[in-house]
Amino acid sequence: MIEIDKKSDTPIYEQIAQRIISQILSGSLRPGERIPSVRQLARQLSVNPNTIQKSYAGLLENGIIYSIKGKGDFVANNLNALRYMKKKELITELVQLTQEAKQAGLWIDELLSTVDSAYSERLI
Amino acid sequence: MIEIDKKSDTPIYEQIAQRIISQILSGSLRPGERIPSVRQLARQLSVNPNTIQKSYAGLLENGIIYSIKGKGDFVANNLNALRYMKKKELITELVQLTQEAKQAGLWIDELLSTVDSAYSERLI
Amino acid sequence: MIEIDKKSDTPIYEQIAQRIISQILSGSLRPGERIPSVRQLARQLSVNPNTIQKSYAGLLENGIIYSIKGKGDFVANNLNALRYMKKKELITELVQLTQEAKQAGLWIDELLSTVDSAYSERLI
Amino acid sequence: MIEIDKKSDTPIYEQIAQRIISQILSGSLRPGERIPSVRQLARQLSVNPNTIQKSYAGLLENGIIYSIKGKGDFVANNLNALRYMKKKELITELVQLTQEAKQAGLWIDELLSTVDSAYSERLI
DNA sequence: GTGGTCTAGACCACC
DNA sequence: GTGGTCTAGACCACT
C-alpha cells in the first residue's frame, strides 16, 4: 500500500517513485512482479494519471521497471544494481551530514551513539 | 568568505543563509559583529541584491541577526539557542538516514565506519 | 474581498497577510479552503505578483496556510492556535496602550467608555 | 535620564522625541526648563549629533520646544495642547484596537477587565 | 493553470 | 553609505 503526502514539498511523482523503489528493496515487490496500472494507482491515490505516468517514466528510464504493451509494468531484474545505487547514495549523504555535524560542533561520540541506537530501534 | 553554487537546486538565498549560520556556529562570525552589507555581498557573489535581502530577512525573522537601518546587519546574541537548534536538526536527520539505510540493507558497521572516517577527514 | 491602502506606511505585503488572517479568524475563510492565487490577487489589487508572493510566504512560514505546487494555497488547520496567538497579541497591545494612556493623564473612565462604545459600533 | 534601543525598528530620532514628550507630560521636564544640548545628548547616548538634531527639529516644528540662539533649547508652554494631542492620538489607537479585537472574537468583558487591571498596575 | 526563485532597476527612510 | 519595499518581466517545476 502506497501513501503520499500532497502537502510535502517533494513532488508527488517522486514520492511515488521512492515508495516503489523502497518496496522493491524491502522485497515486498519482487523482480518480474507486476506493479499497479497507471489508472488504477491514480484512482487509488486520487492523483492525476499524468503524475503516475511521470513516476513510471522515470523508473523505466533508470531500468527499474520494464513495460509490456497491453500487459502492464513489471519490476526489472536489477535488484543488485538498485541496492548498489541506493547504498552509494546513502553513504554520500551520511558523509555530508557527518561533516556538517562536525563543523557545527557535535562530537563523534554523539554521532556514533545516535546511529547505533537508531539502527537498533524498531522501525515505525 | 562565502561561496555559492548557482546551479544547485537549493535556492541561492538559502545557501547564503546556511553559510552565515555555519560561520556563526564555527565562531568565525561572533555575536555583535557586523555581517557584509546587502549590496556588498551581492556584488561579491554577483547575485542580485534582492536575493541577499531575502536571505537576511529569513535570518532576521529567526532572530539570528538584527538589523539597524542605515548601519547594517549584526549577529544576534543567540549562539546557544542556535547551536541547540542546529544540533537537534542534525540528530533528527541522522536518525532518519540511519533507519532508511537499515531498511535498504546496509549493515551497522558500514554506517559507523563511514561516520568515523568522514569525521576524521580534513574538511574542504 | 480584500482592500488595501497603498499609501499606508504598513507595507502592502503585510496588509494583505493581515487581511487573510482576519478573514480566517472571522470564519469567512475556512481551513482547507483555497485562497486566491498569487497572480489572480495581484491582478485584482493591481499589485505586483511578487508582493503577493511575499505575503503568502510569510503566512506559509507561520503555518497559517500550506501550498501545493501547481494547485494553489490553502488555509491550514490551525484555527485555534491562530486565535490564541492573535488574542495574546491584542491583549499585550491593550495593556501597553492603557499604561501609556495612564501616564499621559487619561482617566480610567475615559478608557473604559471608549472601549465600550467602540465595541458596540458597527464595523466599517 | 533617556534610554534608547538602537535595535528597535522605530527610528532613534523618534524614540528620543517620544522620551522628551513623555518627560514633559509626566512633569519631569517643566515648561521653560532647558533640555540637554544636542552635542551633550549625542555624547551621552553615543548617537550621531545629526540624529539628535532631527529629533529637536521635529519638536521645534510642533511647538513643543523653542530655541534661543546661543542659550539652548527650552520646553514650550504648551502643556495643555500637548496633552490634548496625545490624548486624541491614544483614543484613536484604542478605538482601532478595540474593533480589531472584536473582529478577532474577543469579548467586551475581556477588554474591559484588561484595561481595568492594566490601569491599576504599578508602572514599571 | 499553479507556486517559487531570480534579475534589473527604482524609491524610501535612516544614519 | 545602509536596510526595506515595490515593480516589471523572466524562467522553472509541478498538476
By C-alpha distance, which of C123, C117, C28 is closest to D111? C117
| Confidence (pLDDT) at A1 | 67
Three-state DSSP at C65 gives strand
Q: Who wins on pLDDT, B122 or A81?
A: A81
User: A108 touching B, CB under 8 A?
Assistant: yes
**Sheet holding B34-35: strands in order across?**
B34-35, B72-75, B65-68
Percent of chain C scored above 70 by pLDDT?
Answer: 98
**Residues C30, C82 contacting (CB under 8 angstroms):** no
pLDDT over 60 at D123, yes or no: no
Report d(CA B93, CA B97) in Å as an integer: 6
Average pLDDT over residues D95-116: 91
- Which residues of chain D make contact with B66, given a CB cutoff of 8 A? 7
Angle at CA D12, nearest 5°, toward D8 and D16? 115
What does the mean pLDDT of chain A come to? 87
Local confidence band at B104 (pLDDT 50, 70, 90 cut-offs): confident
Residue A5, pLDDT above cutoff 90: no
Query: In b/e form, how buried is each residue of A39-65, taking b as 16+ CB within 10 angstroms?
Result: eebbeebebeeebbebbbebbeeeebb
- Cα-atom radius of gyration of chain B, to the nearest Å? 17
Domain ranges of chain C: 12-77, 80-123
C-alpha triplet D81, D85, D89: angle, nearest 5°: 170
- What pLDDT sits at residue B79? 87
pLDDT at B100: 85
Count Cβ neighbours within 10 Å for each residue of C22-54 and write b for 16 or more, e otherwise: bbbbeeebeeeeebbebeebbeebebeeebbeb
pLDDT of amino acid C85: 85
C14-54: per-residue pLDDT in tens? 999 999 999 998 889 999 999 999 999 999 999 999 999 99
CA D67 to chain CA centroid, Å, is 19
User: What pLDDT, on the 0 to 100 scale, is given for residue C123?
Assistant: 56
DSSP helix/strand/coil, C39 = helix
Q: Are C96 and D94 in contact (CB under 8 A)?
A: no
Chain C residues within 8 A of D106 when measuring between CB atoms: 87, 90
Rounded distance, CA D119 to CA A124, Å? 54
Query: C85-98 in b/e burial notation, b at 16+ Cβ within 10 A?
Result: ebbeebbeebbebb
Higher pLDDT among residues A123 and B1, named by residue: B1
Taking the Cβ of residue A7 and every Cβ of chain C, the question of whether any pair is shorter than 8 Å is answered with yes
Which residue does chain B place closest to D5, by CA atoms?
B68
Nearest CB partner across the interface for C104, out of D90, D110, D119: D90
- Mean pLDDT confidence for D22-49: 89
Confidence at residue A124, expressed as pLDDT on a 0 to 100 scale: 47
> Which chains sit next to C, with 3 or more Cβ pairs under 8 A?
A, D
Q: What is the pLDDT of residue A44?
A: 86
Q: In the CATH scheme, what is the code of domain D12-77?
A: 1.10.10.10
A82-117 tens-digit pLDDT: 888 888 889 999 998 999 899 888 999 999 999 999
CA-closest candidate to residue D41, choices D20, D69, D68: D20
**Is B46 an 8 Å CB contact of chain A?**
no
Which three three-digit cell numbers place residue B89?
536538526
Chain segment C60-102, per-residue pLDDT in tens: 998 899 998 889 999 999 888 888 888 988 998 999 899 888 8
Confidence of residue B123 (pLDDT cuts 50, 70, 90): low
pLDDT of residue C46: 94
Is the Cβ of D7 closer than 8 Å to some Cβ of chain B? Answer: yes
Q: Tell me the average pLDDT across D10-36.
A: 90
pLDDT at B124: 52
What are the tens digits of pLDDT across the range B41-93?
999 999 999 999 999 999 999 889 999 988 999 999 988 888 888 898 899 88
Is the model's pLDDT at B113 over the cut of 70?
A: yes
- SS3 sequence, B82-120? HHHHHHHHHHHHHHHHHHHHHHCCCCHHHHHHHHHHHHH
Q: How far is the CA of D69 from the C1' of F14 (A)?
A: 70
Q: Per the CB < 8 Å rule, is A7 touching C69?
A: no
- Cβ contacts of B119 on chain A, cutoff 8 Å: 98-99, 102, 108, 111
